[in-house]
Structure 1
Amino acid sequence: MKKLVEVQNDDVPPRLVLILGGARSGKSTFAERLALESERRVAFIATATASDDDMRDRIARHQAARPAHWQTIEEPLHLATAVRQAAEHADVILLDCLTVWLSNWLFAQHDSDAPFDEQMISAGYYDAALQEIAELLQVASTFAPGKTLLCVSNEVGLGIVPAYALGRVYRDVLGLVNQRVATAAARVYLMVAGLGVDIKRLHETATL
């Protein structure tokens, strides 16, 4: 795999890269390899929380796989603040992942004793979540040359329509989040069986 600066074909690495894919597609491994091979200072922003035994095991495996000298910031909700903090000391900020962040964010907005239904969409969930992403992108847009934000996210819209309201709200909001980040990103990689395809480059060169 080429180094991040070489993938860009430029002397200055990209400010924003999105790594997108399904479960177990190799997203995190690909993002970590890009960060490692950049040979720059790396900060890792972890959005997951140890909510059950399975998540604790997943977190432990990811921690063991990362280089010990990387700075780690655990932040389940406030992405823009975490990225701003990380950029003070690191050149590559790896945010893993937007998928888990959105789950955390949705539950933080919702009264757990109230029923969750799709009427919440009209209550501003879409706009509020996208505002959080706008703040994240604004921080990335102010990076000094040489700093890069790598965002990992899931593509959850390729399967069946979720049977429950929360799943439908989550799928739809995440789809919009991914679109916003992809639009702002210099590179968008779609992971398929561990292989990263630069779909933004294909999109830019596509013709009838």
Structure 2
Amino acid sequence: MTQLIPSTRQLILVTGATRSGKSQWAETLAQKLNKPVIYVATALENPDDPEWQSRIAQHQKRRPPDWETHCIPYDLSAILDSIKSPHCLLIDSLGTWVANSLEQDNDTWKEITDQLLENLQKTPLDIIMVAEETGWGVVPAYPLGRTFRDRLGSLIRQIGAIANPVYLVTGGHALNLSLIGELLP
């Protein structure tokens, strides 16, 4: 049985649309914790895609120089086991992490996410996770797009059930859903 960590640490979920400011809000929250920050980047660099490299560079420029950065495109569970308190992990982003593992079959994906959820509940670290909202528009016309949308939506809901607070960033505002919403059963 997983032993739940004491309530003195925080698991924070920041979700929202593209370019809504969710990463900046997560960075602000990390700075407010007054702990050493380890920024976990899930993006894979692609020198053949200058626009993608520009997005990565924008994120890098905003980070304070004393933040440690780890590029973890696949095994998020491993870093949860390897870092000790008093650090804060800022994981940006779950959508990119899900996209990196789309080739996994459903059983393997379930094992990966079950391990992540278990480690999130037992780690003593403060963790801030950034996730993109999907599924608020048209159903993707291709199977891989639907798999991505379904996997990310399900993961956000599962993490949202154990995180507190959960923020929705939209229109340049951060809404604390833990204060104004109710957790679904």
- Do the two structures share a fold, i.e. TM-score over 0.5? yes
Could you tell me how far 1:197 is from its partner in structure 2? 0.8
How far does the alpha carbon of each residue in 1:165-206 deviate from its partner, in whole angstroms, 9 at most, with x for none? 211111111111111111111211011122111113322399
Is the 8 Å Cα contact of residues 135 and 149 (structure 2) preserved in structure 1? Answer: yes
Q: Which amino acid aligns with 2:102?
A: L
How far does the alpha carbon of each residue in 1:44-83 deviate from its partner, in whole angstroms, 9 at most, with x for none? 0000011221111111111111011111110100011123
After TM superposition, the structure 1 = structure 2 runs for residues 1-208 of structure 1, keeping only pairs within 5 Å, are 12-14=8-10, 16-51=11-46, 52-85=49-82, 87-88=83-84, 90-107=86-103, 109=104, 124-125=105-106, 127-144=107-124, 147-204=125-182
Q: 1:70 to 1:137 in 2, by over 3 A?
A: same
Runs of 4+ in 1 over 6 A off after TM superposition: none
Is the 8 Å Cα contact of residues 47 and 77 (structure 1) preserved in structure 2? Answer: yes
Q: 1:159 to 1:143 in 2, by over 3 A?
A: same
Which consecutive unaligned segments of at least 5 residues does structure 2 have?
Answer: 1-6
Which structure has more helix as a fraction of its residues? 1
Q: CA RMSD in A?
A: 2.0
Is the 8 Å Cα contact of residues 20 and 171 (structure 2) preserved in structure 1? Answer: yes
Is the 8 Å Cα contact of residues 80 and 123 (structure 2) preserved in structure 1? Answer: no
C-alpha distance in 2 between matches for 1:53 and 1:205: 40
Q: Which amino acid aligns with 1:40?
A: K
TM-score, normalising length: structure 2: 0.87
C-alpha distance in 1 between matches for 2:67 and 2:25: 16
C-alpha distance in 2 between matches for 1:104 and 1:128: 14
47-56 vs 20-29, which moves further: 47-56
Q: 1:180 to 1:70 in 2, by over 3 A?
A: same
Is the 8 Å Cα contact of residues 43 and 90 (structure 1) preserved in structure 2? Answer: no
Instruction: Give identity over the alignment, percent.
Output: 34
C-alpha distance in 2 between matches for 1:205 and 1:58: 33
Q: 1:59 to 1:89 in 2, by over 3 A?
A: farther
Which consecutive unaligned segments of at least 5 residues does structure 1 have?
Answer: 1-10, 110-123
Q: Which has the larger radius of gyration?
A: 1
Helix, strand or coil: the match of 2:179? helix
C-alpha distance in 1 between matches for 2:138 and 2:86: 40
C-alpha distance in 2 between matches for 1:99 and 1:192: 17
Q: Which amino acid aligns with 1:139?
A: N
Q: How many residues align?
A: 176
C-alpha distance in 1 between matches for 2:118 and 2:56: 28
